[in-house]
Amino acid sequence: MLDEDFVTMNKQYVFDTYGRAPIMLVSGRGCRVMDSKGREYLDFIGGLAACPLGHAHPKLTEAIAGQAGRLIHVSNLFYIEPQIRLAKLLVENSFADKVFFCNSGAEANEGAIKMARKYFHDRGQHDRYHVVTMENSFHGRTLATLAATGQSKYRRGFEPETPGFSHVPFGNIDALRNAVTKATAAVILEPIQGEGGVRVPPSDFMQKVRELCTETGCLMILDEVQTGMGRTGKLFAHEHFGIAPDVMTLAKGLAGGVPMGAVTAVDGVASCLSPGTHATTFGGNPLAAAAGIAVLAELLKDGFLEQVTSRGEYLRSRLKDLALQHPIVKEVRGLGLMMAIELAVPGAELAAAMREAGVLVNCTAETVLRFLPPLIVSEDEIDEMIGKLDGELRKMGGARKP
């Protein structure tokens, strides 16, 4: 069957909710993927940070195949050994005491919001349900997580908005302080805004948010759906800021591309969700949990996260070199292997040109080119990407003379 036949079938049978690139990826290995016509691409999208070990990683493949041969799914009416083992690994390597498994980042954030409201309801504070989030944030596409998301374009057409949310500028502690009231149950934010343009907060912002939440008694919820699982060179990005939240959400890279999310929390907060208050059919199923164990085992190996830090610094330095040569690049920002360049022009055309050149990158926030390669990316692969990017930027014109 030809690619054109699949495009026609997609239009006929699949909801038209994605602006898809005109290729169909069929296989991959490491940091490279191949399309249905046999063309190879260097993957700097990494499943939108969902493939920390790249494609067809032998340990992950073995774990998934082995578990599929034993048991794919039962239900949470029973104890599930891989789920318990994965929870133990997460608790032993984080601030958290308990883990609730679900299926996606949106579902994890939805669960965290429910938890915040239930936490204060159980304490007789029934009017304490307000949640403060950040402008330019992204927390998911359910009705509650849309309301939490600080970008009106995602909420447009789905009005009326779910009440109980307000947004303040990311990095502005005074605005946040003014927004927190006696009705505020939680502040939810990303340590680094991903979909919002890979925006890193001022160095002391996260610590001040932690202090404000402690002072006012509201919960600090960190959305580490994109920043977690080693993406920034630490297992969780908040470790860079020397703080710990009350609740943290995870997904994307948690199970190496197998759909999985998690809500992690300290005991005093987790205990508010008792039997019957929150549930999911597929959350923490044996297959996804086995994949999660394999991913975490790799991330926790000696030197792995240090290598992510090293590769991230190398990627940043190469991008900064490009910025010096091309006035169209306004800024380089990010942390670890979550990097971006902000352009003086819309970035979709450049992302398409890079794809034609054999490199997959993502444009977000209209003018930001985002780089989320597998955490196993090599310096040679970074050099290859930079070479292609330099070439495409030169075609756009405006390069400085050497």
* pLDDT 10s digits, 234-262: 999 999 999 999 999 999 999 999 999 99
pLDDT score, position 400: 64
Split at pLDDT 50, 70, 90, the class of 173 is very high
Looking at residue 193, the DSSP 8-state letter turns out to be B
Q: What are the start-end ranges of the E strands in 208-260?
A: 219-223, 247-250
Specify the pairing of strand 261-265 against strand 247-250.
antiparallel
Query: HSE on the CB side for 69, CA within 13 Å?
Result: 6
Confidence tier at 162 by pLDDT (50, 70, 90): very high
Q: Maximum Cα–Cα distance for the chain, whole Å?
A: 67
The share of the chain scoring above pLDDT 90, in percent, equals 97
Q: What is the predicted pLDDT for the residue at 131? A: 98
- With contact defined as beta carbons under 8 Å apart, do 53 and 375 qualify? yes
Q: What is the mean pLDDT of the chain?
A: 96
pLDDT at 401 over 60: no
- Strands (DSSP E) found in 169-234: 184-189, 219-223
The stretch 80-101 carries a mean pLDDT of: 98
CA–CA separation, 197 and 87 (whole Å): 31
pLDDT at 342 over 90: yes
pLDDT score at 391: 97
Residue 136 has pLDDT above 70, yes or no: yes
- Which pLDDT score, from 0 to 100, does residue 402 have? 54
For the segment 108-123, what is each residue's pLDDT rounded down to a tens digit?
A: 999 999 999 999 999 9
- DSSP letter assigned to residue 401: P
What span, in angstroms and rounded, lies between the C-alpha atoms of 139 and 238?
A: 17
End-to-end CA, the chain: 49
Domains and CATH numbers, the chain: 3-56+302-396 (3.90.1150.10), 71-299 (3.40.640.10)
Q: What is the pLDDT of residues 194-231, one digit of tens each?
A: 999 999 999 999 999 999 999 999 999 999 999 999 99
Candidates 222, 248, 240; CA nearest to 338 is: 240
Question: What pLDDT sits at residue 398?
Answer: 61
Query: How many residues are given for the chain?
Result: 402
Integer Cα distance of 103 and 150 in angstroms: 23
Q: Which of 333, 327, 321 is nearest to 197 (CA)?
A: 333
Q: What pLDDT is stored for residue 108 in this prediction? A: 98
What ranges make up the beta strands (E) of 22-66? Answer: 25-29, 32-35, 40-43
As a whole number, mean pLDDT of residues 351-370 equals 97
Q: What pLDDT is recorded for position 4?
A: 84
Q: Answer yes or no: are the C-beta atoms of 273 and 110 closer than 8 Å.
A: no
CA distances 312 to 200, 237, 315, Å, are: 15, 14, 5
What is the mean pLDDT of the segment spanning 282-301? 98
* DSSP alpha helix (H) spans, 45-104: 46-49, 58-68, 81-92
Average pLDDT over residues 44-49: 98
- What is the reported pLDDT for 37? 94
Instruction: Fill in the DSSP letter of residue 205.
Output: H
Phi, psi for residue 7 in degrees, rounded to 5: -60, -45
Any alpha helices (H) in 79-222, and if so which ranges? 81-92, 105-121, 143-148, 152-155, 173-179, 205-216
Quote the pLDDT of residue 280. Answer: 97
